[in-house]
């Protein structure tokens, strides 16, 4: 998928991360548009430059997230003639932004190596001077200052800064009794020489080190190992929590035996059971989901398997497992990147089992296999047209004309999104929505002719409409496009449940990031993202079970870049400040931890303190694993249960089995 250029990313950042969250100062927004943040982060992290998150820059320091830089500049109420002191130069990014707004910036950095790097980056900003020294003492040779901004948190406002603030000057800094949790404050020096102070809200910054910072404070705890998150001083030690997990966990020596013994029957009364995975390329996650799903289908009447896959691809599998007629002209399933995610030996085995299970049952009692995702724009358009050609050729001609707006872009819809956002091409929303509306309006007429075909066509039409919005939204910000995608997946699930009647029960296979409650993670709390799990919790309440999965180490099938070749990579052992490491510390190779069981209530409270959790998708970059693949979460609020497999292995793509007797024909034909 094509990536937007940095200028587009800056526009999206300003629109969604800044203006969308209440930053209104036009000078600040203009400055954030002009300064290329990618020039102020390490080369390995440049692709994350416009994420709404701090990034490491070396020496235990970070470049603040864009929103915080903009918030501090806006709260300082800057004027073009101001002289500003920036404490904690770091990468130089904040100084560059300030230099776009004010007449002069002096910036002070304690670490010489960071200061020298920043000086090079700021060479094109002649109104910025970089100094090396103890920033807690300010820079008296250049005082007084109209504003002082500090990118590090101290126990109190340094006296030197108060003294160097001009009458009417504003000082913005994080203050708190903890080195890693503070309140952002604004201090104003009055004309009479006094000071007023205003609380601007909770923040987390790296500690302010120096004579009038933490080095000179009474308390000097060790700095946090990870500047992205607070250490949580009230949390129990890792060793103690690992032991408590061991005591509460239910060991699973064999998944099939566990399923047969009824371990997973605790979810039998639920309407929806969502089964996650910590990566898209780990065999044990697929095997666990298959074992649980087989049990729920065979013994508890579940009749929907809904997966994080495109609707047309899954429809080919559904026809196969429900013994429907093969369509030789239909494209083979899962032929696009990442093919190994569904075209692998574990999925093949489950599909064959589901077909055999359905073979002895009446057509109305067969369990189906359905896709929830929206990346199949071209195939979904083709499916709508093929259906209408069969039932209403005149309507097919109208639909072909409407979809003609999208036809030039159907092989690369990301380019369509960029063209519309840049005003180089008109949007196609009206056409695709009109087509969906017409199809839904003629539901009774079409469904009477071909019931199953109508539902499939209607869902494909919904997908086209959702995809059109998605590809436009992806250039305005990750949260907006993510929310559109997960809302589409949830709505597809809800429509499947409704279509299958009052007794319908569904199992969902998707990544942990989709099935855990986003409101309990950094996704929801910081980035404003929602997901299927959160929407299921809101719609179905306790009738939805959210099950996450994790691993410590092993191998995984993934690519280094989108569209790149699949590789079997080593999974870096989990970080010591993560939930995965706590699970590893239990010493149990494979277990189920029921976070809703009354006996585990105390443990769930102890585990609720946010920690890092690892997410590996189809892309894995071990060299930047912290920033690429970890995020804060509260595990007991995110999931109802946690399925742990300490050492795991990569999935085996079907292509790798050629010649061993496994047929690569329908529904996985090439």
**Annotated catalytic sites, by residue?**
64
Do 247 and 614 meet the contact criterion of CB atoms below 8 Å apart?
no
67 neighbors 52 (Cβ within 8 angstroms): yes
Return the structure tokens found at 84: 């500003």
* Encoded tokens for 207: 């500690």
Cβ partners under 8 Å of residue 41, min gap 6: 48, 49, 55, 57, 63, 91
> Which residue, chain included where needed, has tokens 């800056």?
10
Q: Helix, strand, or coil here: 151?
A: coil
* Chain centroid offset of residue 204 CA: 21
Angle at 194 between CA 190 and CA 197, to 5 degrees: 80
Task: Return the H-helix or E-strand segment holding 272.
Answer: strand 272-275
Residue 578 and residue 612 in contact, taking contact as beta carbons nearer than 8 Å: yes
- 356 three-state secondary structure: helix
Q: Could you tell me if residue 22 is left (phi over 0), alpha (psi between -120 and 50 degrees) or otherwise beta?
A: left
Which tokens hold the place of 141?
């040779």
Query: Locate tokens 């800044």: which residue?
Result: 18
Interstrand relation of 630-633 and 611-614 (parallel, antiparallel or unpaired): antiparallel
646 exposed, middle or buried (CB, 10 Å; 0-12, 13-18, 19+)? buried
- Please give the structure tokens belonging to residue 315: 């429809």
Give Dmax (Cα) for the chain: 89
Within 110-265, strands assigned E span: 128-132, 145-150, 165-175, 182-189, 195-203, 250-251
Structure tokens belonging to residue 136: 């807690």
């Amino acid at each position: 998928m094509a990536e937007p250029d940095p200028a587009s990313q800056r526009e999206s950042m300003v629109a969604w991360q800044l203006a969308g969250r209440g930053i209104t100062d036009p000078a600040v927004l203009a400055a954030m548009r002009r300064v290329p943040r990618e020039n102020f982060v390490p080369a390995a992290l440049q692709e994350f430059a416009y994420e709404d998150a701090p990034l490491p820059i070396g020496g235990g320091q970070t470049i603040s997230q864009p929103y915080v830089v903009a918030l501090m500049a806006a709260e300082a109420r800057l004027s073009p003639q101001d002289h500003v002191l920036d404490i904690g130069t770091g990468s130089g990014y904040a100084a560059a932004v300030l230099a776009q707004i004010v007449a002069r910036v002096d910036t002070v950095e304690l670490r010489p190596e960071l200061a020298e790097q920043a000086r090079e980056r700021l060479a094109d900003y002649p109104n910025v001077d970089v100094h090396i020294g103890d920033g807690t003492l300010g820079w008296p040779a250049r005082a007084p200052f109209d504003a002082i901004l500090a990118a590090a948190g101290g126990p109190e406002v340094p006296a030197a800064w108060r003294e160097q603030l001009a009458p009417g000057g504003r000082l913005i800094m994080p203050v708190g009794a903890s080195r890693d949790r503070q309140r952002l404050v604004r201090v104003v020096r009055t004309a009479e020489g006094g000071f007023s102070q205003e609380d601007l809200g909770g923040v987390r910054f790296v500690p302010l080190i120096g004579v009038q910072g933490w080095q000179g404070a009474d308390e000097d705890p060790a700095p946090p190992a990870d500047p992205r998150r607070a250490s949580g001083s009230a949390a129990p030690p890792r060793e103690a929590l690992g032991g408590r997990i061991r005591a509460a966990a239910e060991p699973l020596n064999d998944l099939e035996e566990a399923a047969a013994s009824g371990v997973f029957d605790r979810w039998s009364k639920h309407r929806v059971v969502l089964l996650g995975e910590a990566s898209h390329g780990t065999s044990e996650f697929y095997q666990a989901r298959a074992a649980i799903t087989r049990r729920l289908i065979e013994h508890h009447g579940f009749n929907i398997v809904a997966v994080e896959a495109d609707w047309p691809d899954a429809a080919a599998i559904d026809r196969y497992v429900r013994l429907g007629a093969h369509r030789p002209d239909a494209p083979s399933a899962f032929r696009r990147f990442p093919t190994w995610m569904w075209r692998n030996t574990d999925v093949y085995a489950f599909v064959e089992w589901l077909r055999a299970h359905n073979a002895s049952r009446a057509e109305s009692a067969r369990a189906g296999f359905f896709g929830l995702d929206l990346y199949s724009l071209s195939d979904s358009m083709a499916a709508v047209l093929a259906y209408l050609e069969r039932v209403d050729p005149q309507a097919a001609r109208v639909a072909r004309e409407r979809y003609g707006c999208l036809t030039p872009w159907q092989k690369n819809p990301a380019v369509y999104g960029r063209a519309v956002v840049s005003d180089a091409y008109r949007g196609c929303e009206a056409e695709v929505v009109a087509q969906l509306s017409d199809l839904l309006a003629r539901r009774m007429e079409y469904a009477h002719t071909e019931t199953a075909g109508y539902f499939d066509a209607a869902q494909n039409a919904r997908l086209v409409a959702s995809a059109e919005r998605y590809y436009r939204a992806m250039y305005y910000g990750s949260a907006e496009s993510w929310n559109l995608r997960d809302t589409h997946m949830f709505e597809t699930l809800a429509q499947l449940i409704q279509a299958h009647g009052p007794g319908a029960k569904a199992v969902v296979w998707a990544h942990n990031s989709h099935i855990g409650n986003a409101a309990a993670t950094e996704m929801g709390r910081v980035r404003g993202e929602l997901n299927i799990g959160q929407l299921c919790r809101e719609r179905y309440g306790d009738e939805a079970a959210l099950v996450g999965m994790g691993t410590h180490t092993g191998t995984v099938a993934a690519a280094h870049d989108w569209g790149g070749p699949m590789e079997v990579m080593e999974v870096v052992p989990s970080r010591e400040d993560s939930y995965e490491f706590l699970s590893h510390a239990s010493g149990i190779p494979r277990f189920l931890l029921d976070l809703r069981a009354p006996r585990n209530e105390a443990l769930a409270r102890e585990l609720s303190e946010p920690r890092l959790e690892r997410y590996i998708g189809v892309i894995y970059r071990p060299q930047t694993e912290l920033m690429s693949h970890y995020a804060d979460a509260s595990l007991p609020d995110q999931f109802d249960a946690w399925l742990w497999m300490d050492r795991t292995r990569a999935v085996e793509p079907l292509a790798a089995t050629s010649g061993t007797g496994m047929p690569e024909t329908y529904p996985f034909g090439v």
